[in-house]
Structure 1
Amino acid sequence: MRYLIIDDEHIAHKIIMEYCEMLPHMKLQKNCYSALEALKYLNTHQVDLIFLDINMPKLKGFDFLKTLTAPPKVIVTTAYSEFAIEGYELNVIDYLLKPFSFERFLKAVNKINDSNTVSKSTSIDENTSEIKRIFLRQNKSYIQIEIDTILFIEASGNYTKIVLINEIITIREKISDVLETLPSDNFLQVHKSFAIAIKYINKIDGNRIHIREHTIPIGKLYKVNLIKILN
């Protein structure tokens, strides 16, 4: 993912770059210290993602964003929370309040990986399908998995098990937090402790769902969710 940093503070560039270096698919294109510098760069180059500060001299972040006819994905990074509503009206992916942790940064980047649409500034072969991935924290490291390989997820105490086609990963996250990173159209919570990938349902038998060799219970409070997709 080709990214651009637009911020008048050098420390902000340093933090974002250090975070992105931990994610192997992120590639820095340029450090811009003003919106005018970024406009000049974007006239001749394409990027997939912009990390955008709001309060900059000469041309403010949102004013810059309004000048773009086909903007790439945008994650706002700012110390000013009062502009969040305006940011979402401009369809930014996420709004990070400085100082932000790596975990919060990762959540924002994962939203882009989950997006069903490719950035308007990115051209891809029509015969090539986009591979969607997310990063998950496992102990002190971060692992990348393809969303399409997830069969179901299961709450297990303070942990959540991610059951993939070929392996099982256990992470120290609440099931609700994991679900927030997954596309809602593809996954469905069917029990307080289980959420499934809809495409892998083999059979629904009474209060149980069969996915390959696994059997998942259906909770009474979640039956209505299942009825919706059956209809």
Structure 2
Amino acid sequence: MNVIKCHIVEDEPLAAELLTDYIEQIPFLKLHGISVTAIEASLVLNKIDIQLLFLDLHLPGMKGFDFIKGLYNPPKVIVTSAYPQYALEGYDLNIVDYLVKPIKFERFFRAVNKLQIHTSPEFNKKVVYFHENRRNVPVEEDDIYFIEAQGNYIKVYLKNSMISCKTTLKKTILNISDSKFLRIHKSFVISCSKIESFNKNYVTVLNRELPIGRFYKNSVNDAINRIFR
């Protein structure tokens, strides 16, 4: 997997700390450092091949957009700002994305996934993040066997492990690929590629018989027929 070397340009310590934490959770990002002014950042860019800047707009001495305009060959830029009204100006400068503070991890993740500088097949595999024990755990979709809902929690079953996190199955479905997963019950979503066997009442995944809900029988039957025909 290619790794993007990134740099934060931010004069607010708490904002820089949050971005640092988010970056550390993304496998394809590597943080080079933090600058608190545009001048400091320009010195870094003159010495280091930085591929991505997380850039605040209101910096001491020089505004963020003026900094971008002054660069001969700027890296990719994701703007982080408390002022949404400047977003259009940013996109005119060909920024990757414009993140409005306070920035949630899900929004940050969508922004970094817009980067087009990765072309390797490994990078193109979709990664889903599950929040467990105060950390966002990255999981490739292809590694998921099935997901089970239990009250206000879900359990994500992998080949040799399981992840438990506080969220709903409904929200989780929005973050996974429709073409790869199939809902068979109000409490179960399965990976289509991990089906081991099936009948009219059950689907076997990871050596476990999962029930097909009455409401889902017709749609599950149609989907399985398409998969195995």
Shared fold (TM-score, shorter chain, > 0.5):
yes
Q: Is the 8 A contact 2:200 2:217 kept in 1?
A: no
User: In the superposition, relative to structure 1, how do residues 60 and 112 fare at CA in structure 2: closer, same or farther (>3 Å)?
Assistant: closer
Kindly report which structure 2 residues correspond to 1:72-221, keeping only aligned pairs within 5 A, or say none: 72=76, 75-83=78-86, 92=96, 96-100=99-103, 104-105=104-105, 107-111=106-110, 115=113, 119-120=116-117, 129-130=122-123, 133-140=127-134, 143-203=137-197, 205-206=199-200, 208-216=202-210, 217=212, 219-220=215-216
CA apart distance, 1:40:
6.0
Paired AA for residue 97 in structure 1: V
CA apart distance, 1:97:
3.2
Runs of 4+ in 1 over 6 A off after TM superposition: 67-70, 85-89
Residue 219 (structure 2) aligns with = 223
Counterparts of 2:176 and 2:220 in 1: how far apart (Å)?
Answer: 20
Counting matched residue pairs gives 217
Q: Is the 8 A contact 1:139 1:172 kept in 2?
A: no
Rg (Cα) greater in structure: 2
Deviation string 1:9-60 (CA, Å, 9 cap, x unpaired) is: 3442233235545x38453213234556546644664446432324456454
User: In the superposition, relative to structure 1, how do residues 109 and 166 fare at CA in structure 2: closer, same or farther (>3 Å)?
Assistant: farther
Residue 68 (structure 2) aligns with = 64
Counterparts of 2:147 and 2:51 in 1: how far apart (Å)?
Answer: 30
Residue 5 (structure 1) aligns with = 8
Percent identity between matched residues is 28
Structure 1 unaligned blocks of 5 or more: none
Paired AA for residue 149 in structure 1: D
Alignment root-mean-square deviation, CA: 4.5
Deviation string 1:102-136 (CA, Å, 9 cap, x unpaired) is: xx22x2454478x4x8741x5x8x6x734765543
CA apart distance, 1:156:
1.0
Residue 18 (structure 2) aligns with = 15
User: In the superposition, relative to structure 1, how do residues 62 and 96 fare at CA in structure 2: closer, same or farther (>3 Å)?
Assistant: farther
Counterparts of 1:62 and 1:167 in 2: how far apart (Å)?
Answer: 49
**TM-score normalized with structure 1 length:** 0.64
CA apart distance, 1:196:
2.4
CA apart distance, 1:149:
1.7
Counterparts of 1:34 and 1:229 in 2: how far apart (Å)?
Answer: 60
Residue 30 (structure 1) aligns with = 33
CA apart distance, 1:199:
2.5
Counterparts of 2:56 and 2:202 in 1: how far apart (Å)?
Answer: 49
Deviation string 1:166-220 (CA, Å, 9 cap, x unpaired) is: 1222211112333344455533444433222232234554464433423442543
User: In the superposition, relative to structure 1, how do residues 224 and 145 fare at CA in structure 2: closer, same or farther (>3 Å)?
Assistant: closer
Structure 2 unaligned blocks of 5 or more: none
Report the 3-state secondary structure (helix = DSSP H, G, I; strand = E; otherwise coil) of the residue aligned with 1:12.
helix
User: In the superposition, relative to structure 1, how do residues 19 and 221 fare at CA in structure 2: closer, same or farther (>3 Å)?
Assistant: same
CA apart distance, 1:154:
1.5
